[in-house]
Amino acid sequence: MAKKIKEPEPESSVKEKKVAVKKVAVKKTVTKKKETEVPQIVANKIYPSVLLYSRFSEFDISLFKAGKHYKLHEKFGAHVINHEGVIGTYFAVWAPNAHYVSVIGNFNYWDKGTHELFVRWDHSGIWEGFIPHVGNGEAYKYFIESNTGEKLEKADPFALRSEEPPRTASIVWDTWYEWKDSPWMEKRHLKNALNKPMSVYEVHFGSWARGLESPDQFLSYRDMAHKLVPYVKEMGFTHVEFMPLMEHPFYPSWGYQITGFFAATCRFGTPQDLMYLIEQFHENGIGVLLDWVPSHFPGDAHGLYNFDGSHLYEHADMRKGFHPDWKSYIFNYGRNEVKAFLISNAIFWLERFHIDGLRVDAVASMLYLDYSREEGEWVPNDFGGRENLEAIAFLKEFNEAVYVNFPDVQTIAEESTSFSGVSHPTYTGGLGFGQKWMMGWMNDTLRYFQKDPIYRKNHHSEVTFSTIYAFTENFMLPLSHDEVVHGKKSLIYKMPGDEWQQFANLRLLYSYMWTHPGTKLLFMGSEFAQTKEWDPQHSLDWHLLEYAPHQGIKKTVMALNKLYKEEPAMYERSFDGNGFEWIVNDDADNSVLVYARKGLNPKDDLIIALNLTPVPRLNYRFGVTRSGNWKEIFNSDELQYWGSGMKNNDQESEAKGSHWKANSIEVNVPPLGMVVFKAV
Q: Mind telling me the catalytic residues?
A: 361, 414
Residues 134 and 107: beta-carbon distance below 8 Å: yes
Q: Identify the CA nearest to 242 among candidates 303, 200, 184, 188.
A: 200
Q: What are phi and psi of 260, to 5 degrees?
A: -115, 85
Sort 308 into a burial class: Cβ within 10 Å, 0-12 / 13-18 / 19+: buried
Sort 219 into a burial class: Cβ within 10 Å, 0-12 / 13-18 / 19+: buried
Residues 292 and 244: beta-carbon distance below 8 Å: yes
Residues 570 and 519: beta-carbon distance below 8 Å: no
3-state DSSP assignment of residue 195 = coil
β-strand partners of 580: 597
Q: Rounded to a whole number, what is the distance in angstroms from the first to the last CA of the chain?
A: 83
Handedness of CA 176, 177, 183, 189 (dihedral sign): negative
Residues 6+ away with beta carbon under 8 Å from 110: 104
Q: What DSSP string describes 375-398?
A: TTSS---TTS-SB-HHHHHHHHHH
Residues 572 and 605: beta-carbon distance below 8 Å: no
Residues 121 and 5: beta-carbon distance below 8 Å: yes
Amino acid at 38: V
Rg (CA), the chain: 29
Residues 142 and 153: beta-carbon distance below 8 Å: yes
Q: Identify the CA nearest to 680 among candidates 616, 638, 628, 641.
A: 628
